[in-house]
Amino acid sequence: MSQTRLLRMGMIGGGQGAFIGAVHRTAACLDHGVVFAAGCLSSTPERAMESGRLLGLPASRTYPTWQAMLEGESKLPAGERIDFVSIVTPNHVHHAPALAFTNAGFHVVCDKPLVHTSAQAEELRRAVAAKGTVFAVTYNYSGYPMVKHARHLVHTSTLGEVRKVVVEYNQGWLASRLEASGQKQADWRTDPARSGMGGAIGDIGSHAEQLASYITGLELAEICADLTTFVPGRQLDDDAAVLLRFRGGAKGVLMASQVEIGRENDLRIRVHGSKGTLAWRQEEPNHLVVIPEGGPEQVLRRGNAGLCDAAKAGTRLPPGHPEAFLEAFANVYNNACHAMRAGVGGIEAATRFDFPGVIDGARGVRFIERVVESARSDRKWTAV
Amino acid sequence: MSQTRLLRMGMIGGGQGAFIGAVHRTAACLDHGVVFAAGCLSSTPERAMESGRLLGLPASRTYPTWQAMLEGESKLPAGERIDFVSIVTPNHVHHAPALAFTNAGFHVVCDKPLVHTSAQAEELRRAVAAKGTVFAVTYNYSGYPMVKHARHLVHTSTLGEVRKVVVEYNQGWLASRLEASGQKQADWRTDPARSGMGGAIGDIGSHAEQLASYITGLELAEICADLTTFVPGRQLDDDAAVLLRFRGGAKGVLMASQVEIGRENDLRIRVHGSKGTLAWRQEEPNHLVVIPEGGPEQVLRRGNAGLCDAAKAGTRLPPGHPEAFLEAFANVYNNACHAMRAGVGGIEAATRFDFPGVIDGARGVRFIERVVESARSDRKWTAV
Amino acid sequence: MSQTRLLRMGMIGGGQGAFIGAVHRTAACLDHGVVFAAGCLSSTPERAMESGRLLGLPASRTYPTWQAMLEGESKLPAGERIDFVSIVTPNHVHHAPALAFTNAGFHVVCDKPLVHTSAQAEELRRAVAAKGTVFAVTYNYSGYPMVKHARHLVHTSTLGEVRKVVVEYNQGWLASRLEASGQKQADWRTDPARSGMGGAIGDIGSHAEQLASYITGLELAEICADLTTFVPGRQLDDDAAVLLRFRGGAKGVLMASQVEIGRENDLRIRVHGSKGTLAWRQEEPNHLVVIPEGGPEQVLRRGNAGLCDAAKAGTRLPPGHPEAFLEAFANVYNNACHAMRAGVGGIEAATRFDFPGVIDGARGVRFIERVVESARSDRKWTAV
Amino acid sequence: MSQTRLLRMGMIGGGQGAFIGAVHRTAACLDHGVVFAAGCLSSTPERAMESGRLLGLPASRTYPTWQAMLEGESKLPAGERIDFVSIVTPNHVHHAPALAFTNAGFHVVCDKPLVHTSAQAEELRRAVAAKGTVFAVTYNYSGYPMVKHARHLVHTSTLGEVRKVVVEYNQGWLASRLEASGQKQADWRTDPARSGMGGAIGDIGSHAEQLASYITGLELAEICADLTTFVPGRQLDDDAAVLLRFRGGAKGVLMASQVEIGRENDLRIRVHGSKGTLAWRQEEPNHLVVIPEGGPEQVLRRGNAGLCDAAKAGTRLPPGHPEAFLEAFANVYNNACHAMRAGVGGIEAATRFDFPGVIDGARGVRFIERVVESARSDRKWTAV
D148 and D94 within one domain: no
Q: Which of A172, A239, A378 sits opposite D251 (nearest CB)?
A: A239
Q: Which of B263, B277, B378 sits opposite C261 (nearest CB)?
A: B277
Interchain contact, A261 vs D175, CB within 8 Å: no
The conformation of residue B5, written as its DSSP 8-state character, comes to: P
pLDDT in tens, B266-307: 999 999 999 999 999 999 999 999 999 999 999 999 999 999
Average pLDDT over residues A196-225: 98
Among B265, B281, B282, B323, the residue to mutate for chain A (most A Cβ within 10 A): B265
> Which of D120, D140, D160 delimits the end of a domain?
D140
B366 and B224 within one domain: yes
Among B287, B298, B302, B307, the residue to mutate for chain D (most D Cβ within 10 A): B298
Domain assignment of residue B331, yes or no? no
Give the count of domains, chain D.
2
Cβ–Cβ under 8 Å, residues C250 and C163: yes
Interchain contact, C322 vs D327, CB within 8 Å: no
The residues pairing with C37 across neighbouring beta strands, listed in sequence order, are none
Name the pLDDT band for A1 (thresholds 50, 70, 90).
Answer: very low
Interchain contact, A301 vs B22, CB within 8 Å: no
Interchain contact, C297 vs A294, CB within 8 Å: no
The residues pairing with B84 across neighbouring beta strands, listed in sequence order, are B9, B107
Residue D284: closest CA among chain C residues belongs to which residue? Answer: C284
Average pLDDT over residues D25-50: 96
Question: What residue type is assigned to position D136 of the chain?
Answer: A
Domain assignment of residue A258, yes or no? yes
Instruction: State the pLDDT at residue D3.
Output: 56
Domain assignment of residue B99, yes or no? yes
Interchain contact, D296 vs B300, CB within 8 Å: yes
List subunits contacting chain A, requiring 3 or more Cβ pairs under 8 Å: B, C, D
CA Rg, chain D, in Å?
20
| Main-chain phi, psi angles of C260, to 5 degrees | -90, 95
**Which long-range CB contacts under 8 A does C154-159 form with residues at least 24 apart?**
C154/C215, C154/C216, C154/C217, C154/C271, C154/C273, C154/C278, C155/C217, C157/C275, C158/C275, C158/C276, C158/C290, C158/C292, C159/C271, C159/C272, C159/C273, C159/C274, C159/C275, C159/C276, C159/C277, C159/C278
pLDDT in tens, A165-175: 999 999 999 99
Domain assignment of residue B339, yes or no? no
Distance separating alpha carbons of residues A143 and B286, to the nearest angstrom: 20
Cα C53 to chain centroid, rounded: 28
A271 and A148 within one domain: yes
Q: Which of D7, D9, D26 is nearest to D18 (CA)?
A: D26
Interface size, chain B vs chain C, as Cβ–Cβ contacts under 8 Å? 108
Coil, helix or strand at residue B222: strand
Query: What does the mean pLDDT of chain A come to?
Result: 97
Domain assignment of residue D352, yes or no? no
A115 and A245 within one domain: no
Cβ–Cβ under 8 Å, residues A34 and A6: yes
Contacts for D78 with CB less than 8 Å, ≥ 6 apart: none
Name the pLDDT band for B4 (thresholds 50, 70, 90).
Answer: confident
Instruction: State the pLDDT at residue B1.
Output: 41
Coil, helix or strand at residue B377: coil
A242 and A110 within one domain: no
B371 and B227 within one domain: yes
B188 and B135 within one domain: no
C245 and C136 within one domain: no
Name the pLDDT band for A3 (thresholds 50, 70, 90).
Answer: low
% of residues, chain B, pLDDT over 70: 99
C77 and C213 within one domain: no
Q: Which of C294, C295, C298 sits opposite A296 (nearest CB)?
A: C298
> Which of B115, B140, B165 delimits the end of a domain?
B140
Domain assignment of residue C327, yes or no? no
Interchain contact, A56 vs B3, CB within 8 Å: yes
Q: Which residues of D touch B153 (CB under 8 A)?
A: none
Average pLDDT over residues A38-46: 96
pLDDT in tens, C286-337: 999 999 999 999 999 999 999 999 999 999 999 999 999 999 999 999 999 9
Domain assignment of residue A324, yes or no? no
Interchain contact, D296 vs B297, CB within 8 Å: no
Instruction: State the pLDDT at residue A16.
Output: 81
Domain assignment of residue D36, yes or no? yes
C56 and C29 within one domain: yes
Average pLDDT over residues B329-338: 98
A177 and A116 within one domain: no
CA distance C157 to chain B (A): 15
Instruction: State the pLDDT at residue B140.
Output: 98
Name the pLDDT band for D265 (thresholds 50, 70, 90).
Answer: very high
Residue A378: closest CA among chain D residues belongs to which residue? Answer: D380
Instruction: State the pLDDT at residue D323.
Output: 98
pLDDT in tens, C366-379: 999 999 999 999 99
β pairing state of D276-281 and C7-12: unpaired
% of residues, chain B, pLDDT over 90: 97
pLDDT in tens, A330-382: 999 999 999 999 999 999 999 999 999 999 999 999 999 999 999 999 999 99
Domain that holds residue C188: 144-317+361-376
CA distance B335 to chain C (A): 34
Cα C293 to chain centroid, rounded: 33
Task: Determine the Cα angle at D280 with ends D279 and D283, to 5°.
Answer: 150
Average pLDDT over residues D69-78: 97
| Main-chain phi, psi angles of A39, to 5 degrees | -170, 150
Among D4, D185, D283, D286, the residue to mutate for chain C (most C Cβ within 10 A): D283
Contacts for A126 with CB less than 8 Å, ≥ 6 apart: none
Instruction: State the pLDDT at residue C1.
Output: 41
Cβ–Cβ under 8 Å, residues D45 and D345: no
D158 and D120 within one domain: no
Tell me what ipTM this predicted complex has. 0.96
| Main-chain phi, psi angles of A344, to 5 degrees | -110, 120
pLDDT in tens, C71-120: 999 999 999 999 999 999 999 999 999 999 999 999 999 999 999 999 99
List the CATH number of the domain containing B54.
3.40.50.720
Interchain contact, C291 vs B175, CB within 8 Å: no
CA distances from D206 to D137, D242, D263 (A): 12, 12, 18
Is residue B6 scored above 70 in pLDDT? Answer: yes
pLDDT in tens, B190-205: 999 999 999 999 999 9
A→B interface, C-beta within 8 Å: 1-3, 6, 19, 22-23, 25-26, 29-32, 36, 54-56, 171, 263-266, 282-286, 301, 303, 316-327
Average pLDDT over residues A107-115: 97
Average pLDDT over residues B158-169: 98
Cα B125 to chain centroid, rounded: 17
List the CATH number of the domain containing A248.
3.30.360.10
> Which of C104, C120, C140 delimits the end of a domain?
C140
pLDDT in tens, A188-204: 999 999 999 999 999 99
Average pLDDT over residues D298-308: 97
Cβ–Cβ under 8 Å, residues D291 and D276: yes
Distance separating alpha carbons of residues C364 and A135, to the nearest angstrom: 70
pTM, rounded to two decimals: 0.97
Average pLDDT over residues A64-70: 98
CA distance A162 to chain D (A): 10
Instruction: State the pLDDT at residue D2.
Output: 47
Q: What is the dihedral of CA B130, B134, B137, B143, to 10 degrees?
A: 140
Query: What does the mean pLDDT of chain C come to?
Result: 97
Name the pLDDT band for B19 (thresholds 50, 70, 90).
Answer: confident
Q: Which of D294, D299, D305 sits opposite B297 (nearest CB)?
A: D299
Interface size, chain A vs chain B, as Cβ–Cβ contacts under 8 Å? 115
